[in-house]
Structure 1
Amino acid sequence: MSLYLSLIDFVVLLLFLLVSASFGVYHACRGGHQRSADEYLLADRSMHPIPVAISVVVSALSAVTYLGVPAEIYVHGPQYGIVVGNKLIVLFFVVFSFCPVLYRLKLTSINEYLEIRFNRHVRYLCAGIIISAFPIFMGISIYGPALALNAVSGLSLPGSIIVSGFVCTFYSTIGGIKAVMWADVFQSMIMLCGFLVTAIACCIQVGGLDEVFHINARDGRDTVFDFRIDPRVRHSFWAVFFGLGIQSASYIGCSQMIVQRYMTCRTLRQSQAAAGIGTSLMGLVELIAVITGVCMYAFYAGCDPVSSGKVSRADQLMVYIVVDLFENTPGVAGFIISAVFSSALSTTSSGINAIAAVVGYDVIKTQFPGIQGVKFTFVLKAVSVIFGLISILTAFLASIMGPILPLTLTIAGAFMSPIFGVFCLGIFFPWSNAKGALAGLICALATGIWLVIGSQMYPPVSEDPPLFTDQCDDILSMNGTTMMTSLVEPTTSATIQAVGGLPMIAQIYSLSYAYLAPLNTCITIFVGMIVSLLTGPTDIATLDPTLVSPLIRTVCCCKTRGRDDEIKMKETSGPIYELVETKLKGKRTEV
């Protein structure tokens, strides 16, 4: 039997969308009316660290976490839960290394650092990668709520994508980053309540949290730590802790969408506080998402909705269970579906704002350096609209490419981790040079794209615990054929996919998606270091120490061409803007 939202649920969802849009309208009409790029993209660097930290959480997690993590736990077991602990890796990279370097330069586009540290070719290549990859991420974020709306409204998936995409694009374009972040604060409350209400309702229906864990243990879903070193194991301890830890560090440490938020804080200390608090809260939200997935399995332990044909794919389970639990409580399901839209709106609006910064400063500003003020802000908003429409198109592509969580992390591993590797070269390896950075970036990018294409051609087979339908007592109609599900045998994804007749190279594509980020990061660093040494490493004595991590400065004792006060620069915009502009002009002259 299909489950659909009631009229009251749709009213609640509509009210949520109107409140979210009101943040954009309010901030578009107040203050400077978005007449400067600094106000539109960086909130005039005046934000408090708490809303910035919350905005980091909801922007980084998105609908992928809200829909994908519970589905991942439901299908594959609780091993993914180790992701909560890998935030220690993120804290090391971001708070103590990336923030001190990038914030003191007061950059708008993070790629400006790459021109200062290496040359403009490295900057433009990384900007091109971001401009190519970000619409894919935003498309997946739009696809998430569209999938949810399709599952419970009867609206076709293409129609759901178009509705979701236009709402996100409107909200993202008019308000600027200040509207986006304050809306994130509101939406984060909805997201958290959605997870908690769903998990608690499942526990009550099943008979308590103890019974939830008992059911999972009974069905072989009590193994959290899998210490096998086989890189083909989907969620071993090593893959989740180190692999996805590096993945998170690459996203939170050098993603324009996230770093741009740190840049809105008043001081470096506030920027580091926002990064630290945001990363810790991410771990908490992911833990709640994992528990929700465990509770979801206990609720459907005897009648899997996917195998029994009630939903078409696992990514719809989070929405389906909400409507199933609260079908007789009008308004609650609409509230929780609003949480799905919260995650999507926050990420999409953040992504569109970030890509406007990259296009504006890495493309338009370099070609038309005199453009500024209202005219430049108008161009940035036009860029936002264009990429919002492109994201709608990529959402259709996401609908045919598999589960959204591994899909997102795989694409991030292919595109973002090479950029992370280049930033690591610049920040942690003072002797690396521009030729090494370019060589490492190109090699890692080629490797990542090759593995992504190969994994789509030969999808890896995972050994998952079974999903049962032996307790389904209803008769379902599937594709016009009546089918009794009470006697269906348990199934696993390993039994669905053929294991024979594959070429030997398919073994390479069986690599867990979690290892893609550290693999590409290591390739970038290794190739970059070798090429740097062969072509003449950077003389550490001439390297400006403000461009490397404070941790590395204490080890390498870099000498500076300028005065020591450049390292302890005052965190005021004027002198630092002049310093950045001077460095950029110097690099362009050298090139």
Structure 2
Amino acid sequence: MIVPAEAAMELPSRYFSWVDYAVFVGMLFFSALIGIYFAFFAKQKQNTTNEYLMGGRSMGIFPISMSLIASYISGIALLGLPAEMYTFGTQYWMIVLPEIAVSFTMANAYIPVFYELNITSSYEYLCLRFNQSVRILGSAIFIIKMMLYIPLVIYVPALAFNQVTGINLHYVTPAVCLVCIFYTTLGGLKAVVWTDTLQTILMFLGVVLVMILGTAHVGGFKVVFNRSAHSDRLEFFNFDPDPTVRHTIWSVCVGNYFNWLASCSVNQAMVQRCLAMPTIGKAKITVLILALGILSIVSMSCYTGLVIYAAFHDCDPVTTKLVSKSDQILPYFVTQIASSVPGLPGLFVSGVFSAALSSMSTGLNSITGVLYEDFVKPTVKKPWSEAKASLLMKVVVVVVGTICVALVFLVERMGAIIQVAKSLSGITAGALLGTFSLGMFFPWANSTGAMAGGVSSILLVAYISLGTQAHIAAGKISYPKKPFSVSGCSADQLSGLNATLPIIVNEPLDEVLYVFRLSYLYYTMIGVATAIVVGLVVSFATGANKAQDVDPRLLSPVIRRYISYDTKARQKYYEGETYELKAAQKKLIQQPTT
């Protein structure tokens, strides 16, 4: 039986039933089981670096595609996107538009370079193109990025679990993450990929069910869009050119193009999975499936946000303190419609946790690969045995995972998760994408320029991002929200309102530096531009390379065609011989990757 929207808001908070707990525990149990299988029972054990990090380079399209989708659609998206639609309107929904362009760019400009070089860590490229110092810089930036990101994706599902069960998130976080660390440590990439596949299915199932039941709950699609339109939430094409406006069609499409490109094209997690495919053709197919999967899940999550507003259009749970943060609005909504489907809260929380666990396991596996390939392997004089290397990587997973769980305690003190996640990721994403792009598209760039560009990018965007977050926390910057109403609330619900709430007087925007008022979606683009411009200026100031002296395999296929190599050099390249490289680069490019 579907409870009417008005009556549903009067229901008390619903806690997990035994069915819900069974669904949730079942997800964790089968995830752990997959790790045990690949560690002890699979034909190819995870006791070599090639198997542990690359899955033997023999993975199929389906599991890799599902893994990529699960990795990039974290709990941040599943909870943050509906909250964004509910609070600020639908302009952010247009992030789906740049996806096609990002997929095309990845498949044709970036992935072929990594695939031809046959490398394990994407940061090996930076050593081949520049030098070891630039490689270490890129690897360090990536590790910092993931250490900032993983705690966010852990915190989000714990918040949802707290909303539907009442269990303190500080209790459930370590327990669930222990399962993730367990199967990632034992099973390596294959365990991560196949648990991601299971978790992606649960994630889609949970989102689809909540979307369908929620639409029926409020009275259909017409009601959803009518109520959203009346509250001015339907805003898709705001062409305001002002870069300080939080979301416009320009910031969402142009700014987010660089955000997604940084997250997908040069990210170790993406490169590692694409290189696990047997052919580059199959790798490109997985990129296409990734784009379609992201488009689907993002659109469903955004629509669900409108459904939630339609349900609470005259009694906002945030205003009445029924939920403490807007990021809890989706879990609260699930508790209101759960009476019609036993086990729905369990399936929903399993889906959110699945998205988070997949992102965490991917991050841990990628960090392990980078630490081993870029920090340990180049420094040891005598190659380690496969058993010793495998043991070290498993220890790294446990240590890094434990640190990330501890950092969750800091995350809960931050603001809206979508903005926090994008703001923090922009610090490192722009520097990474800019440095890789400098190498692939600008043959004149040298190692000094790459180092200067990467460091300048990090410092500038960190200054903007952290400064903006500090101003927001201090109440000096705020963003206009869409209107809310409590006209339909009962007396009991209104009792949560505090008539003496303090009034925060925002500092006039003219008194806040302009750079702190920029939309957070431009941070990555600013970082990319800084890395490239500074990198080129410094390169030409210190002696730029000649384009013909750079191995064509280190350049994107997009740029190779415009460089005039002499006949002898071009013949060597097309015959597959090693082109003239620095001694260190030549040694690295020819060494086995297993």
Alignment match, 1:583: 586
2:489 to 472, 489, 513: 472
Q: 1:365 offset after TM fit, Å?
A: 0.6
Q: 2:563 matched to 1:556?
A: yes
Q: Give the Cα–Cα distance (whole angstroms) in 1 for the partners of residues 158 and 533 of structure 2.
A: 41
Alignment match, 1:16: 27
Alignment match, 2:545: 538
TM-score of the aligned structures, taking structure 2 as reference length: 0.92
- Residues 61 and 277, structure 2, Cα contact 8 Å, conserved in 1: yes
Q: 2:443 matched to 1:436?
A: no
Q: Deviations over 1:159-205 (max 9, x none)?
A: 23222322222232111111111121121111111111111111111
Q: Give the Cα–Cα distance (whole angstroms) in 1 for the partners of residues 587 and 322 of structure 2.
A: 58
Q: Deviations over 1:399-455 (max 9, x none)?
A: 111222111111111112111000000111111111111111111100111112211
- Residues 66 and 289, structure 1, Cα contact 8 Å, conserved in 2: yes
Alignment match, 2:525: 518
- Residues 35 and 374, structure 1, Cα contact 8 Å, conserved in 2: yes
Q: 2:294 matched to 1:282?
A: yes
1:450 to 437, 457, 463: 463
Q: 1:330 offset after TM fit, Å?
A: 2.2
Alignment of 1:495-514 (within 5 A): 498-500=505-507, 504-514=511-521
- Residues 134 and 451, structure 2, Cα contact 8 Å, conserved in 1: yes
Q: 1:223 offset after TM fit, Å?
A: 1.5
Q: 2:109 matched to 1:97?
A: yes
Alignment match, 1:413: 426
Alignment match, 2:121: 109
Q: Give the Cα–Cα distance (whole angstroms) in 2 for the partners of residues 201 and 504 of structure 1.
A: 47
> How many residue pairs align between the two structures?
573
Question: What SS does the aligned partner of 2:505 have?
Answer: coil
2:353 to 327, 330, 341: 341
Q: 1:503 offset after TM fit, Å?
A: 7.3
Gapped runs of 5+ residues in structure 2? Answer: 1-11
- Measured at CA, do residues 587 and 17 of structure 1 come closer, stay the same or move farther in structure 2, by a change above 3 Å? closer
Q: Give the Cα–Cα distance (whole angstroms) in 2 for the partners of residues 509 and 141 of structure 1.
A: 25
Bigger Cα displacement from structure 2, 325-334 vs 258-267:
325-334
- Residues 112 and 123, structure 1, Cα contact 8 Å, conserved in 2: yes
Question: What SS does the aligned partner of 1:227 have?
Answer: coil
2:254 to 242, 245, 251: 242
- Measured at CA, do residues 496 and 130 of structure 1 come closer, stay the same or move farther in structure 2, by a change above 3 Å? farther
Q: 1:72 offset after TM fit, Å?
A: 1.0
Q: 2:86 matched to 1:86?
A: no
- Residues 47 and 387, structure 2, Cα contact 8 Å, conserved in 1: yes
Bigger Cα displacement from structure 2, 102-111 vs 325-334:
325-334
Identity of aligned residues (%): 32
Alignment of 1:232-381 (within 5 A): 232-327=244-339, 329-369=341-381, 370-381=383-394
- Measured at CA, do residues 262 and 569 of structure 1 come closer, stay the same or move farther in structure 2, by a change above 3 Å? farther
TM-score of the aligned structures, taking structure 1 as reference length: 0.92
Q: 1:260 offset after TM fit, Å?
A: 0.8
Q: Give the Cα–Cα distance (whole angstroms) in 2 for the partners of residues 568 and 195 of structure 1.
A: 50
Alignment match, 2:18: 7
Alignment match, 1:45: 57
2:172 to 157, 160, 164: 160
- Measured at CA, do residues 497 and 538 of structure 1 come closer, stay the same or move farther in structure 2, by a change above 3 Å? farther
Alignment match, 2:190: 178
- Residues 87 and 279, structure 1, Cα contact 8 Å, conserved in 2: yes
Q: 1:231 offset after TM fit, Å?
A: 1.1
- Measured at CA, do residues 585 and 500 of structure 1 come closer, stay the same or move farther in structure 2, by a change above 3 Å? closer
Q: 1:498 offset after TM fit, Å?
A: 2.8
Question: What SS does the aligned partner of 1:5 have?
Answer: coil
Alignment match, 1:395: 408
- Measured at CA, do residues 483 and 45 of structure 1 come closer, stay the same or move farther in structure 2, by a change above 3 Å? closer
- Residues 117 and 589, structure 2, Cα contact 8 Å, conserved in 1: no
Alignment of 1:52-91 (within 5 A): 52-91=64-103
Q: 1:31 offset after TM fit, Å?
A: 2.4
Bigger Cα displacement from structure 2, 26-35 vs 67-76:
26-35
Question: What SS does the aligned partner of 2:233 have?
Answer: coil
Alpha-carbon RMSD across the aligned residues, in angstroms, is: 2.5
- Measured at CA, do residues 528 and 5 of structure 1 come closer, stay the same or move farther in structure 2, by a change above 3 Å? same
Q: Give the Cα–Cα distance (whole angstroms) in 2 for the partners of residues 262 and 437 of structure 1.
A: 25
Q: 1:508 offset after TM fit, Å?
A: 2.2
Q: Deviations over 1:461-495 (max 9, x none)?
A: 21221122221115149xxxx4469xx99x9xxx9
- Residues 544 and 560, structure 1, Cα contact 8 Å, conserved in 2: no
